Amino acid sequence: MSTSPKKVVVIGAGPVGSLAALYFSHANWEVELYELRGDLRLPENLSLNFSKSINLALSDRGIDGLRNVGDNEVLLKKVLEETIPMHGRMIHSGKPSDKGMSQGYDVHGRFIRSADRWKLNVQILDALAERGNVKMIFNHGLRKMDLDAGEVEFENTKTKESVTVHTDLVVGADGAHSATRRLLQKNVQMYYEQTYIDTLWQEYHIPPHPITGDFQLSPNHLHIWPKQTYMFIAIPSADKTFTCTLFMSPSLFAGLGKSREKHLAFFKKNFEDVIPLVGEDALFDQFMRNPRLPLISVKCDPYHYKDRAIIIGDAAHAMVPFYGQGMNAGLEDVRVLFDHLALHPGDLAAALASYSKHRRPDSHCINDLAMRNYIEMRASVTSRAYLARKWVEEM
């Protein structure tokens, strides 16, 4: 049996890595958190946040992860204060005359919340900054690991200098294209599966109403314009805007080229009611300017190596976003990991092995559900809506 290690190096200061660092800090480990990019809290680094959708659906799964750290649920309370409840989805046909059809999420009134990913990440980083046993090192990318020797090498992205640190445990939370996972594969005979779906996502923005300054759509819904093979969605933000995403195949995007006319005609045909909400010029500007990003799904197993390393969050199970559970599952990973550490006190190898064994079926399952929900969101909701409407009309 190994004795409890003292130092953990967490790689990646996204929501999952930051939360993991906070859990380890409260468990009295010496924590070093390394992040490839700059500190999100600094204004000059704000644009770095654009690589992930700005608004996310936060559900009980993620909330439980945030609840279990520190005293009196201080972090959770701060996070929840900044969220907006979404009681259901609102299905839009795209016709200006159609005000949308509300489909409640839960007969008992339970709901999910819209959370600003940047704000959530900053709140966790702020909580870490208050901890005496945590060092946060930005602009450092993982390059090499010698796990048996307990050595990890980073490159300072500004000076290009190499820095080698010693640690008892490595926690890789460095996202879908995880370097930790790639390096771990040298030590572990890892089952690994990666899929890109034939869909890109592009972000749009609905500002507040120009006269009233209020939300232009119901703030307590996740809005969906389902079009069978593609869809547009809108999620509310606390500043009365909506972050919108167009999910569509690369060939359909390419078919619109750089033509303002084709783009407008496409929106007129499919999402006509969105045009005045975004504004015709802004809509085309965002179409031209905002990146179109791929969607990856990753499954692997196991997630750990001896008592030396573990991967969590997107590094372990990146999923397509249609179930709104990627970050939620990652925050849950941290809670579950600490459940297994508690079950095996003083035996880190057993705790990590037990985590890998128990987490695999759950995370593979949620990846599959996420993939399945793409069909639900872009197509099946319409047939349900049709049936529901008919049912109401016939009453």
Structure tokens at 293: 């990003």
**52 near ligand FAD, judged by CB under 6 A:** yes
**273 near ligand FAD, judged by CB under 6 A:** no
Cβ 324 to ligand FAD shortest distance, Å: 3
Sequence-ordered strand ranges (E) for the chain: 7-11, 30-34, 55-58, 84-86, 88-91, 101-104, 112-116, 134-137, 140-146, 151-156, 162-166, 169-172, 191-206, 221-226, 231-236, 242-248, 292-301, 304-305, 309-311
Among 75, 173, 231, 283, which residue sits at the site for ligand FAD (rule: CB under 6 A)? 173
Question: By C-beta, is 116 or 174 nearer to ligand FAD?
Answer: 174
Asked if 53 and 117 count as a contact pair (C-beta separation under 8 A), the reply is: yes
Options 5-13, 79-87, 94-102, 122-130: segment touching ligand FAD (CB under 6 A): 5-13
Question: By C-beta, is 11 or 277 nearer to ligand FAD?
Answer: 11
Backbone conformation region of residue 313, classed left if phi is above 0, alpha if psi is from -120 to 50, else beta = left
Residue 297 to residue 147: CA distance in whole angstroms: 26
Question: By C-beta, is 7 or 292 nearer to ligand FAD?
Answer: 292
Instruction: Give SS3 for 167.
Output: coil
The site map against ligand FAD for 93-132 (x = CB under 6 A) is ----------------------------------------
Residue 376 to residue 383: CA distance in whole angstroms: 10
Options 1-9, 34-42, 255-263, 280-288: segment touching ligand FAD (CB under 6 A): 34-42
Residue 250 to residue 74: CA distance in whole angstroms: 43
Structure tokens at 325: 């559970």
**29 near ligand FAD, judged by CB under 6 A:** no
**16 near ligand FAD, judged by CB under 6 A:** yes
Question: By C-beta, is 235 or 283 nearer to ligand FAD?
Answer: 235
**326 near ligand FAD, judged by CB under 6 A:** yes
Element of type H or E holding 384: helix 381-394
**65 near ligand FAD, judged by CB under 6 A:** no
Cβ 4 to ligand FAD shortest distance, Å: 25
Among 8, 9, 10, 13, which residue sits at the site for ligand FAD (rule: CB under 6 A)? 13
Give the chain's largest Cα–Cα span: 72
Question: By C-beta, is 110 or 209 nearer to ligand FAD?
Answer: 110
- What type of residue sits at position 16? V
Element of type H or E holding 63: helix 60-67
Cβ 58 to ligand FAD shortest distance, Å: 7
Options 29-37, 77-85, 254-262, 269-277: segment touching ligand FAD (CB under 6 A): 29-37
DSSP 238-251: TTS-EEEEEEE-HH
Binding site for ligand FAD (CB under 6 A): 11-17, 34-37, 52-53, 56-57, 141-142, 173-175, 179, 201, 245, 313-314, 321, 324-328, 330
